[in-house]
């Protein structure tokens, strides 16, 4: 900084600060919706879940809650960029079709934490009836409770 | 940061890279923070009937969770488990502090298909509470497999202690 003759500028230059903050803001605006894969549900929080392998063609079931803890309001099936919404009753039939297409696909379930265990058990049984042999139950590590 | 030009006729022809570096560093930090947020959870085995009927040498272990011993009928919403919560491990009541050591004791010498704990939870219990208990049970034994049991009676402690109850799946 060169000081012009006799004049001292005592203002802090906030322009770069504002620049950086705006960039931060934009990045978070873009990234936040992408953090959770599949439809948004409130995941259960547990202490130390194990990292689950993510594969491109995995089927992600999001079991949704809408006021009744004893019934899933809808179940979103997402595989890659394909997404569809089915009722709990129709899930079994749809999964059977997925199984026929590719029996080796892995399945993960994201269940809303306000639901009862019975709803999730029923979903797992539907998965089993379709032919799949194991599922992953997605939870949220405690450290990330505030995020997503 | 603003270069005072015209102080005495000297011109600065260098590009000012400081803001560029600022922004790139911020980007770098953000991606460092976001990358570890990957999916995490628990594997549950739901074997077909034929797989379960394979004879196992060891006794099956059933973790029973019911509302009588652990009141999980209301959504937890991230709160810890209710105080004094107990579960039945092969029909033996077990507190949350004893559970991981006991599970580890049973399973440390087992492997493969024998290293599976069957989960029998009442259907009206909150999902998050059940998952928290599974998490606690697995603490000492990270490679423990989880299986599910369809028979509700087992969740209330229906069978005799240590019985070779066939998982209903």
Contact check, Cβ <8 Å, B135/A49: yes
Residue B161 has pLDDT above 50, yes or no: no
Residue B169 has pLDDT above 70, yes or no: no
* Angular region, A103: left φ>0, alpha ψ -120 to 50, beta rest: alpha
Averaged pLDDT, A80-94 = 87
Whole-number pLDDT of residue B54:
45
Sign of torsion over alpha carbons B119, B124, B128, B129: negative
pTM of the model: 0.71
Q: Which domain holds residue A132?
A: 45-143
Nearest to A134 among B45, B130, B132 (CB): B45
Whole-number pLDDT of residue B36:
60
Residue B126 has pLDDT above 60, yes or no: yes
User: Residue A103 maps to which CATH number?
Assistant: 3.30.420.270
Convert the pLDDT of each residue in B38-70 to its tens digit. Answer: 677 777 776 555 444 444 556 788 888 888 888
| Contacting residues of A for B131, CB less than 8 Å apart | 44, 46, 137, 139
Whole-number pLDDT of residue B164:
42
> Which of A128, A109, A130 minimizes the C-alpha distance to A120?
A109
Is residue A98 in some structural domain? yes
Residues A33 and A103 sit within 8 Å (Cβ to Cβ): no
Whole-number pLDDT of residue B47:
58
Whole-number pLDDT of residue B166:
42
With a CB cutoff of 8 Å and minimum separation 6, the contacts of B63 are B87, B88, B89, B117, B118, B119, B120, B133, B134, B137
> Which of A37, A147, A70 minimizes the C-alpha distance to B127?
A70
Whole-number pLDDT of residue B32:
74
The interface predicted TM-score (ipTM) is 0.72
Is residue A12 in some structural domain? no
């Amino acid at each position: 900084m060169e000081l012009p003759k006799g004049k001292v500028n005592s203002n802090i230059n906030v322009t770069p600060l504002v620049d950086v903050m705006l960039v931060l803001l934009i990045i978070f605006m873009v990234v936040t919706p992408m953090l959770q894969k599949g439809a948004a549900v409130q995941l259960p929080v547990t202490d130390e879940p194990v990292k689950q392998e993510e594969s491109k063609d995995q089927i992600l079931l999001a079991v949704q809650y809408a006021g009744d803890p004893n019934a899933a309001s809808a179940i979103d099936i997402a595989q890659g960029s394909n997404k569809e919404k089915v009722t709990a009753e129709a899930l079994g039939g749809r999964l059977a079709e997925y199984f026929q297409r590719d029996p080796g696909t892995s399945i993960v379930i994201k269940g809303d934490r306000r639901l009862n265990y019975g709803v999730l058990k029923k979903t797992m049984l539907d998965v089993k009836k379709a032919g799949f042999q194991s599922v992953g139950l997605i939870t949220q590590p405690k450290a990330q409770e505030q995020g997503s | 940061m603003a270069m005072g030009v015209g102080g005495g006729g000297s011109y600065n022809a260098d590009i000012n890279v400081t803001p560029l570096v600022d922004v790139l560093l911020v980007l770098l930090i953000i991606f460092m923070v976001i990358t570890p947020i990957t999916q995490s959870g628990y594997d549950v085995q739901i074997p077909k009937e034929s797989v379960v009927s394979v004879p196992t040498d060891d006794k099956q272990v059933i973790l029973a969770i019911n509302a009588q011993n652990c009141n999980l009928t209301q959504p937890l919403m991230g709160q810890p488990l209710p105080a004094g919560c107990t579960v039945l491990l092969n029909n033996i009541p077990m507190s949350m502090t004893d559970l991981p050591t006991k599970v580890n004791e049973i399973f440390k010498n087992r492997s493969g298909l024998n290293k599976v704990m069957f989960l029998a939870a009442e259907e009206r219990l909150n999902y998050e509470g059940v998952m928290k208990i599974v998490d606690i049970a697995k603490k000492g034994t990270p490679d423990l497999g989880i299986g599910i049991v369809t028979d509700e009676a087992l969740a209330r402690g229906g069978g005799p202690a240590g019985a070779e109850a066939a998982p209903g799946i």
